[in-house]
Amino acid sequence: MKLERNDPCWCGSGKKYKKCHADFDEKIERFRRQGCEVPPHEIIKTPEQIEGIRESCKINIAILDHVAQHIHAGMSTEEINQLVHNKTIELGGIPAPLDYEGFPKSVCTSINDQVCHGIPDESVILQEGDIINVDVSTIYKGYFSDSSRMFCIGEVSPEAKRLVEVAKECIEKGLEQVKPWGFLGDMGQAVHEHALANGCSVVEEIGGHGVGLEFHEEPFVSYVSHRGEEMLMVPGMVFTIEPMVNAGSPDVVMMEGDDWIVYTADGSLSAQWEVTVLVTEDGYEILAY
């Protein structure tokens, strides 16, 4: 149904459409007519929703800070799960991974050649030299946040250390490209180029996603995409940047009988950082990291 210019705006501001998002919609429509992929209204967040997502993201950050303080060699990944679970509840949140499509734990812990969706386990003990991604996602007052960090356990090899750094730099390179009226492909290409320039590869099959009102929303966010392609970025979009960077080949595998854990096909190390980012009027705001 088409909004009339004097109708209340779809964004919930209470203002008339013509005084609120009418010009914005027209601009998006011009891109659509040129054949660009454009965001539907459902994924453009209102100021009230952004505030809710921001609060959820603050909790996500606090949980990761808590992990950072306590992670150490000799602990199991199940202990990380308990740290995350208990902290989330203490802060009034709900761990989004728990029971999500059957996921059995409150956090993903992906160690060494595990690319993502690692399942915390009592028998997986952190050893000096390991690198591990801890991926935390929180529901707070109905709003979703999602971010992850890498941790190096004690002294790690120079190669592992560099991979972890490159994966983090990829996020920074990607963020530089996040601005309204650009394309997600601008960001994806910047991420990919940085990984390749450092002798690493980027996983193609798994990517980021819109987030905020649901755990995983449109769009799928690729990091092997091309400048000027993929969805148009507009103010109010919230999505994750979370490239999985491999030291060897970009190919990934799963083991029979396991629905979740993704590994590098060649057994090489993999690293990933993740931010939740908001597209603003003049660039971006990191909501969770």
Which of ligand MF3, Co ion, none does residue 103 bind (CB under 5 to 8 Å by kind)? Answer: ligand MF3
Q: Which of residues 96-135 bind ligand MF3 (CB under 6 A)?
A: 97, 100-101, 103, 108, 117, 135
Binding positions for ligand MF3, 64-103, rule CB under 6 A: 97, 100-101, 103
Among 25, 146, 186, 230, binds Co ion (CB under 5 A): 146
Name residue 95's amino acid.
P
CB of 257 to Co ion, least distance (A): 25
Closest CB 208 distance from ligand MF3, rounded Å: 7
Locate 251 and state its tokens: 């190919």
Tokens of 35: 């054949």
Nearest CB to ligand MF3, comparing residues 85 and 117: 117
Say how many residues touch ligand MF3, by CB under 6 A: 12
Cα separation, 75 vs 151, in Å, equals 13
**Separation of first and last alpha carbons in the chain:** 38
SS3 of 48, please?
Answer: helix
Residues 237-256 that bind Co ion (CB under 5 A): 240
Distance separating alpha carbons of residues 242 and 174, to the nearest angstrom: 10
Q: Which is nearer to Co ion, 156 or 210 (CB)?
A: 210
Measured CA to CA in angstroms, residue 272 lies from 54, 68, 73, 191, 236 at distances of 22, 16, 20, 12, 25
263 binds ligand MF3 (CB under 6 A): no
Which residues in the 19-58 window bind ligand MF3 by CB under 6 A? Answer: none
Question: Exactly one of 109, 137, 201, 268 binds ligand MF3 (CB under 6 A); which one?
Answer: 137
C-beta of 20 vs 240, nearer to ligand MF3:
240
b vs e for 258-285, b when ≥16 Cβ sit within 10 Å of the residue's Cβ?
eebbbbbeeebbbbbbbbbbbbeeeebe
Cis peptide before 158 (omega within 30 of 0): no
Handedness of CA 119, 212, 208, 135 (dihedral sign): negative
Whether the Cβ atoms of residue 112 and residue 130 lie closer than 8 Å to each other: yes
Residue from 49, 242, 269, 276 in contact with ligand MF3 (CB under 6 A): 242
Q: Which does 222 bind (CB under 5 to 8 A by kind): ligand MF3, Co ion, none?
A: none
- Residues numbered 167 to 226 that lie near Co ion (CB under 5 A) are none
Q: Which is nearer to ligand MF3, 20 or 246 (CB)?
A: 246
In the three-class reduction of DSSP (H, G, I as helix; E, B as strand; rest coil), residue 160 is classed as helix
* Cβ atoms within 10 Å of 114's Cβ, excluding its own: 23
Question: Contact with ligand MF3 (CB under 6 A): which of 25, 55, 186, 274?
Answer: 274
- Which stretches of the chain bind Co ion, using CB under 5 A? 146, 240
- Which stretches of the chain bind ligand MF3, using CB under 6 A? 97, 100-101, 103, 108, 117, 135, 137, 146, 240, 242, 274
